[in-house]
Amino acid sequence: MLLVDHGVFIGTAADLNDRHELVNHSVTHILSVDSVDPALLLPADDVFCRKWVCVLDEATSDLLSHMDDCYTFIQQAVEGGGAVLVHCQAGRSRSATIVTAYLMKRHGLSFSKAYEKLKTIKQDVQVNSGFEEQLCMYEAIGCEVDFSCPLYKQYRLNKVAEKYPELEQVPRELFAVDPAHSSSSEVSYRCRKCSRTLFRQSSILSHSLGDGASAFAYKKSSNLSGDVQCTSYFIEPVQWMEPALLGKMDGQLLCPKCGFKLGSFRWFGDQCSCGRWVTPSFQLHHNRVDEIQRLNIKR
Ligand SMILES: [Zn+2]
Ligand SMILES: [Zn+2]
């Protein structure tokens, strides 16, 4: 095990067996980022404060959602005057990802600076490509995982899309609360035909017109003179969509009240009218829904 920061060590699963080393370094906390239960590797009478994040070292694994919790755990060890061992199997990818995230948040470092610092201490670290992306996103969201942040929502959806259709059903917490069954002062959108409320403004996952879009726009401009625009709202799944999504990779999205065709969903993604590819895609056409300002409604 190697000291990375004040009170923070990085190591391997084998380090759990080295009781002398742990005692010598005054380790009080053990953070296991591993698919193997660390309890099997530790002596039965261990007195460590432990946290186990059960993940495989795969690019599709989600560590971003655990970064803040792990930070808090490490911080508790350090501020309590103890030390923490962060380990996975080889101490190269999963534990290195969590330690890098800690360095970023603790010292206000960019991903590249924090990762560079870790690499000078432990040369063989090599976080997998998925974890690297997650660390970049962690930097982009200010090292604070906000579950209502559109970037984070899009990330969660992508993680589910990668596992679909083996997953067969969408995790419940991924669906936004049905705005027809709850009240809010937020701007909402309703079915143009029957006025049933469909989604809130905070459910819109907007996208920017990237390089792909400008290439597409250029191509289009040779035979079309109008501006390239988005003609759909791309949103997070809302509770009323659940029956339509069940076991399907793609399909139509109909109004749950009147059956009006509102749009479509495709887990493997779809191209917006502006040229941007969105994965996964849950889109409702602008001309099928109306915006409503809740505060102006008098009933
Ligand atoms: Zn309707
Ligand atoms: Zn668009």
Average pLDDT, the chain: 89
Residues with CB under 5 A from ligand 2 (ion): 230, 272, 274, 276
**CA 253 / ligand 2 centre spacing (Å):** 18
pLDDT for 165 equals: 67
Arithmetic mean of pLDDT, 95-114: 98
Catalytic amino acids?
A: 88
DSSP conformation letters of 129-176: HHHHHHHHHHHHTTT---TT-HHHHHHHHHHHHHHTTTT-S--GGGSB
- Spatial distance between the Cα atoms of 25 and 37, rounded to a whole number of angstroms: 23
**CA 46 / ligand 2 centre spacing (Å):** 55
In tens, the pLDDT along 249-264 reads 899 999 999 999 999 9
Q: Where are the domains of the chain?
A: 2-145, 172-296
pLDDT for 214 equals: 52
In tens, the pLDDT along 37-86 reads 988 888 777 789 999 999 999 998 999 999 999 999 999 999 999 999 99
User: In this structure, which ligand is nearest to the CA of 257?
Assistant: 1
User: In this structure, which ligand is nearest to the CA of 210?
Assistant: 2
Please name which of 294, 295, 296 lies closest in space to residue 197, comparing C-alpha atoms: 294
Identical fold between 2-145 and 172-296 = no
**CA 53 / ligand 2 centre spacing (Å):** 37
Q: Which of 24-33, 156-165, 171-180 has the lowest mean pLDDT?
A: 156-165
pLDDT for 149 equals: 86
Q: Would you say residue 268 has pLDDT above 60?
A: yes
**CA 198 / ligand 2 centre spacing (Å):** 20
Q: Would you say residue 105 has pLDDT above 50?
A: yes
In sequence order, the 6+-apart residues with CB closer than 8 A to the CB of 132 are 111
Q: Say if strands 270-271 and 261-266 run parallel, antiparallel, or are unpaired.
A: unpaired
pLDDT for 173 equals: 84
- Spatial distance between the Cα atoms of 75 and 246, rounded to a whole number of angstroms: 41
User: In this structure, which ligand is nearest to the CA of 270?
Assistant: 2
Q: Does 2.60.40 match the CATH number of domain 172-296?
A: no
Compare 218 and 112 and report the one with higher pLDDT: 112
- CATH entry, 2-145, from 3.30.70.100, 3.30.1510.10, 3.90.190.10, 3.40.50.10490: 3.90.190.10
Arithmetic mean of pLDDT, 106-117: 97
**CA 291 / ligand 1 centre spacing (Å):** 14
- Spatial distance between the Cα atoms of 181 and 7, rounded to a whole number of angstroms: 49
Q: What percent of the residues of the chain are helix, what percent strand, and what percent coil, each to the nearest 5? A: 40, 20, 40
pLDDT for 210 equals: 47
Distances in Å between the Cα of 106 and the Cα atoms of 10, 70, 117, 240 are: 16, 12, 13, 41
Q: How confident is the model at residue 224 (pLDDT cuts 50, 70, 90)?
A: very low
